[in-house]
Amino acid sequence: MTNRIAFQGEPGAYSHEACRKARPDMEALPCRTFEDVIEAVRAGSADLAMLPVENSTYGRVADIHSMLPQSGLHIIEEAFVRVHINLLALPGTKLEVIERAMSHTMLLGQCRAFLAKHGIHRVTGADTAGSARQVANMAEPQTAALASELAGEIYGLDVLAHHIEDQGNNTTRFLIMSREADLSRRGTHGMMTSFVFQVRNIPAALYKAMGGFATNGINMTKLESYMVGGSFTATQFYADIEGHPDDPPVQRALDELGYFTTNVEILGVYPAHAERY
């Protein structure tokens, strides 16, 4: 055991914050790409991977779902992080001297009202934590960063304004993944099962494949499609359902799903997080 959890981004990223929140006892290992995060766990450099899958404002994180089936990893938990955006600047800087704010384009778009009110121009940076690091190294008091409080703590910046995002409910959902599956029943809010499947090339295959979940009273909380191998005819679906594969209604639904699909692969069985509700 390395007691490490890998995430994509620089120290201070929101994925880093998710690691601290979900696994405060583990060392967070920053990685350059999502592929690097997965490989770190597969190679044994880390025990767990923290991967963002969707955001309440911007939808799913591009490419993640297509990586999961090939990763060789298993979902063992989900985590939710409320994306609080803060204006960070060099120590001792006053808000009135700030002329520019640097961050990832998505965060810049989420703080339009605050930036307009204070006459602050937007500057696109590589990412949130990277922008905080750059502001710390630039030594230009007029330039601030939009990032997490954790980024300010790491790079020695002052928080000039807390929680300046336009929307008050922006949340990112993460999946915690491991080399080993955990099929045990755990948690206090029920179980979730995530899986992928491809439907057979027959009329109404998707409709028929989904019928078993409706007739067995299984709540499907997510169903998304994406192309496989760049083909317009090969479509894979990713689904989240409430329940455990050993529950009789889930068993019946998955059995029926098998009649209309070419393959079904369970990606993980994990406890539903309280913040889901």
Q: Which residues of 217-255 are buried (b: 16+ CB within 10 A; e: fewer)?
A: ebeeeeeeeeeeeeeeeeebbbbbbbbbeebeebeebbe
Q: Is 235 part of the annotated catalytic residue set?
A: no
Catalytic one of 128, 143, 172, 261: 172
Q: Is 93 part of the annotated catalytic residue set?
A: no
φ, ψ for residue 251, nearest 5 deg: -55, -45
Which DSSP string corresponds to 87-151?
EEESTT--GGG--EEEE-HHHHHTTHHHHHHTTPEEEE-S-HHHHHHHHHHH--TTEEEEE-HHH
- Decide if 190 contacts 250 (C-beta within 8 A): no
Catalytic one of 34, 174, 195, 197: 174
Residue 101: how many CB atoms within 10 A of its CB?
27
Q: Where in the sequence numbering do the catalytic residues fall? A: 172, 174
